[in-house]
């Protein structure tokens, strides 16, 4: 969302990012991905779509980053990358 970039950068803000997730091969994989991402400090919401091979993550951008969330997913065996 273009408006997000215009908001005062010093204020902690909830951000939502969409990540494409690799390696999800069965219906249980999204649960593993969701758990791994939700464990990251600052993440408040994770929705994983197996069909779309993507995760929509809501997080406090003062406490974590998309990179940290992607790394947590990769560490669980599912490399993720932010979609733009």
Binding site for Cu ion (CB under 5 A): 26, 28-29
Closest CB to Cu ion among 19 and 59?
19
Sheet architecture: strand order including 43-49? 43-49, 54-60, 14-21, 80-82
Which is nearer to Cu ion, 66 or 74 (by Cβ)?
74
How near is the Cβ of 26 to Cu ion at its closest, in Å?
3
- Provide the 3-class DSSP secondary structure of residue 33: helix
Nearest distance from C-beta of residue 78 to Cu ion, angstroms = 9
3-state secondary structure of 79: coil
Strands in 1-84 per DSSP E = 14-21, 43-49, 54-60, 80-82
The residue among 23 and 58 lying less far from Cu ion, judged by its C-beta, is 23
* Closest distance of CB 69 from Cu ion, Å: 19
């Amino acid at each position: 969302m273009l408006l997000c970039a215009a908001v005062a950068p010093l204020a902690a803000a909830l951000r939502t990012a969409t990540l494409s997730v690799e390696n999800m091969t069965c219906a249980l994989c999204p649960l593993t991905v969701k758990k791994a991402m939700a464990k990251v400090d600052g993440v408040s919401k994770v929705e994983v779509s197996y069909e779309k091979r993507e995760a929509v993550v809501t997080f406090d951008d003062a406490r974590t980053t998309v990179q940290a969330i992607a790394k947590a997913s990769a560490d669980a065996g599912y490399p993720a990358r932010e979609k733009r």
